[in-house]
A = this chain, B = another copy of it.
Amino acid sequence: MNPMPDPIAKTAAYLNAISAENLRINAFVMVTEAAAQEQAASAAKAGPGSAIRGWCIAVKDNIDVAGVRTTNGLPGGWVPAEDAPVIARLRAAGAVILGKTNLHEAALGSTTDNAHWGWTHNPLRHGYTAGGSSGGSAAAVAAGLCDAALGSDTMGSIRVPAGHCGLVGFKPTFDAIPCEGVAPLCWALDHVGPITKTVADARAMFEALADPLEPVRAPEKPRVVRLSAFEALPLEPAVAVAYAESLGRLEALYGPVDTVDLPGFDPVALRRAALLAIEADAAAIHADRFDDFSPGLRKMLDYGAKLSAPRLALALEELRQAKKAILRLFREADVIVSPTTAMTAFPLDGPSPPGHSDFMGLAVFAGAPAISVPMPMAEGELPAGLQLIAAPGRDMALLDWAEAVEGVLQPG
């Protein structure tokens, strides 16, 4: 999208839309109206420049915005004196911060049925999850309440909600975008990144957010592969149909998509190892303040607190070996493709389907850039995402490839 000529009018329009819509979907937990109007006025005065000048951004409420309470989806919270570097970079690029969005409690979960701040509903079907943990950010973009949003992704938390809301979610290379000022969940695995309407928007956000990038050589037509371990996971029929259709169009674009083996790669076992790493880090991070957390979160942190160091060491080594195997695969292939989730959004008042984030871990422990783009769905179906993963450092190449894929999946 292009910067609008009048950031003041656009900001006002979004603030109105939030007033009208937010009560229904609970995307925002805090709207910083006055500050947004001020920033819009500054953006209006500045000439053109950054691609995101005048964009109105929703910020996941685990990211520090100076003077605004950060809840991290938990009771209480803190009022940071300083912006997180990602917020400072957005401001420097002339973006307008509209407010803070709801998330799954402590960013540890994928549905955003937050016990402290309420449920976030999928704007495309009320009562259904917008995904998580960045559910509020995705819902805000999908409901037309902002131009783009910031999310964080430790185990799929950007890509899952983007998939469920028909959006683009981009988790960059580990540490390509600084995580300082983002409430940590798992130091080893946390990432921050954008949720947007298009891949072009994700690129514009990434360029504003990322540390300076080294140029990398990448082919125009990537070699795309599927993983046999991913292909063995069961898909909901609507997702299976859309995935088959997407693969067909991908092959027409980039040539044959072979299915390859990744030796020793077991997505379910690795999800468990990653969860263990998250529980240990989260127990260290939240230390003695589990008391006011939900029983489910408290149970996970208690488990993490009681784990032994050698048990954690073993889990981390499992993840390290998986990363090695993935990096080896990236010597032969440019892109790994999979669905983002095996199912479309499900009711918030029911249980989460098993295996909701089984496609998500790989890019996290490999530290590899991964993007979810909407698949072409049959009439009446909720959205689902196609995930593309590239080698660490190849963020810009992945965005180029994903934009071409988006062009064939969502033509016109």
Contacts and interface: CB of A to CB of B under 8 A. Distances in A.
A164 B9 CA distance: 71
B175 A313 contact: no
A281 interface: yes
A311 B313 contact: no
A187 B317 contact: yes
Contact of A316 (B188, B304, B324): B188
B324 A310 contact: no
Interface centre among A187, A281, A308, A313 (most CB of B within 10 A): A313
A280 B308 CA distance: 9
A306 B314 CA distance: 15
A312 to B, nearest CB: 4
Given A305-B310, A308-B307, A316 B187 contact: yes
Interface size class of A (residues with CB under 8 A): 20 to 34
Interface of A: 175, 187-188, 212, 277, 279-281, 283-284, 287, 304-314, 316-317, 320, 324, 331
6 contacts: A187-B317, A279-B309, A281-B310, A304-B309, A307-B309, A308-B308
A342 B320 CA distance: 33
Interface centre among A281, A314, A316, A317 (most CB of B within 10 A): A316
Copies in the complex: 2
Nearest to A281: B313
A309 B280 contact: yes
A55 to B, nearest CB: 28
Contacts of A320: 187-188
B280 A310 contact: yes
Given A188-B320, A307-B308, A308-B308, A280 B175 contact: no
A283 B312 CA distance: 11
A300 to B, nearest CB: 13
A331 B212 CA distance: 10
A175 B324 contact: yes
A214 to B, nearest CB: 10
Contacts of A307: 308-310
A212 B309 CA distance: 34
A313 B312 contact: yes
A188 B263 CA distance: 21
A324 B178 CA distance: 10
